[in-house]
Structure 1
Amino acid sequence: MLISCKGNLDDVQKMGMSENEPIGVAEKINLVHTDSGKVKAILISPKMLDYSNRDFPFNEFPEGITLDIYDNENKKNIVVSDYAIIYNETKLIDLQGNVKIITSANDTLFAEQLFFDQEKEWLFTNKPVKYKQAEAVTNGIGFDANKDFSLAEVLEVTGYMTLED
């Protein structure tokens, strides 16, 4: 009788771990992303669950995020949501629940769900939105914008109100 042992680190790591469980949990996240010595983004979250052990890996932020994004002129856009999930392979971020974006120009977008395509640097949703600018508030269904909101559009306008100084 012959007995053989096979050393497979992946199998050992998976022992005792359900595929539905995260491979890691991080609390009190304060992640600073820099490029060439300049701060590009700061991500703050109470909790992150790492599901990189899945066939379609992702990171989940079940208690929400606050994300400060800085442009080349150090102007800051702020993104807040109750929940977020980042799909690693597609570079798509799904923001859900009381999503709010405040731009450096003080425009504000409110939505229940918003997606951000990191590769195309494009924001979009097909859900109801409220977009407040200095001169007006626009309500509607659907929204598209580039990352700096220089090309921002409410797709199906359901209401429009002009603001006075």
Structure 2
Amino acid sequence: MNQAKVLFFSLLLIACGKTEVREPIIYEGPLREMEDMEMFYSQNSTVKVKMKTPLVHEFKNDDKEFPEGLYLEFYDIAGNLESTLTADHAFYFKEENKWRGRGNVVVKNVIKHEQLNTEELFWTPADQKIFTDKFVTIREQGNVIYGEGMKANQDLSDFEIKHVTGVIEVNED
């Protein structure tokens, strides 16, 4: 029995003598998660942007991820709906005050009945511009314009497409 006790304590001392130091794990994931969010941005008591999303992840640096998509409505000075933007996935970069939509990104000008489709689009709220270097399709009253890269106002009221191709109706009256 004494040999068993000596062997047990010897193994216990050997096992206790080895300490393993591990580096702390730094969590990089979201700090908060919000579901079924609807938010309004207003200026001078007038709604400018309405945002709806099923899920938001908020990070330590105030960046936000919208992994299940995003829907935005843009309103004019009188509070009338001007345009909408939808994306399958979105991300807000706080430091740059810039948004990125990915997947099936669609911008519609509801007044002019124009529509932009692309796979990635950036929006800068400060100057109310949208842009991309990806392939775009713009449909406007009878015309379909294709291109690689574009810049536009957020309501598609004025746009510039790089590397343009497409079908444009011409009236010969």
Q: Give yes or no for contact 2:82–2:155 (8 Å, CA) kept in 1.
A: no
Partner residue, 1:150: 157
Q: Give yes or no for contact 1:125–1:144 (8 Å, CA) kept in 2.
A: yes
* TM-score, scaled relative to structure 2: 0.77
Task: Pick the structure with greater CA Rg.
Answer: 2
Count of aligned pairs: 146
Partner residue, 1:38: 46
SS of residue in 1 equivalent to 2:164: strand
CA positional deviation for 1:148: 3.1
Q: Distance in 2 between the 1:17 and 1:41 partners?
A: 39
1 or 2, which has the higher helix percentage?
Answer: 2
Partner residue, 2:169: 162
What is the alpha-carbon root mean square deviation over aligned residues? 2.0
1 or 2, which has the higher strand percentage?
Answer: 1
CA positional deviation for 1:99: 0.2
One-letter amino acid matched to 1:61: F
Q: Which blocks of at least 5 consecutive residues in structure 2 are unaligned?
A: 1-23
Evaluate the alpha carbon distance shift between residue 147 and residue 96 of structure 1 in structure 2; reply closer, same or farther with a 3 A threshold. Answer: same
Q: Distance in 2 between the 1:163 and 1:110 partners?
A: 23
Partner residue, 1:11: none
The one of 129, 133, 157 aligned to 1:126: 133
Evaluate the alpha carbon distance shift between residue 82 and residue 163 of structure 1 in structure 2; reply closer, same or farther with a 3 A threshold. Answer: farther
Q: Give yes or no for contact 2:53–2:69 (8 Å, CA) kept in 1.
A: yes
Evaluate the alpha carbon distance shift between residue 23 and residue 123 of structure 1 in structure 2; reply closer, same or farther with a 3 A threshold. Answer: same
Q: Give yes or no for contact 2:54–2:68 (8 Å, CA) kept in 1.
A: yes
1:76-91 paired onto structure 2 within 5 Å: 76-91=82-97
CA positional deviation for 1:119: 2.0
1:138 aligns with 2:145: yes
Evaluate the alpha carbon distance shift between residue 76 and residue 18 of structure 1 in structure 2; reply closer, same or farther with a 3 A threshold. Answer: farther
1:117 aligns with 2:124: yes
* TM-score, scaled relative to structure 1: 0.81
Q: Distance in 2 between the 1:48 and 1:18 partners?
A: 21
* Runs of 4 or more consecutive aligned structure 1 residues displaced over 4 Å after TM superposition: none
CA positional deviation for 1:34: 1.8
1:10-89 paired onto structure 2 within 5 Å: 18-51=26-59, 53-54=60-61, 57-73=62-78, 74-89=80-95
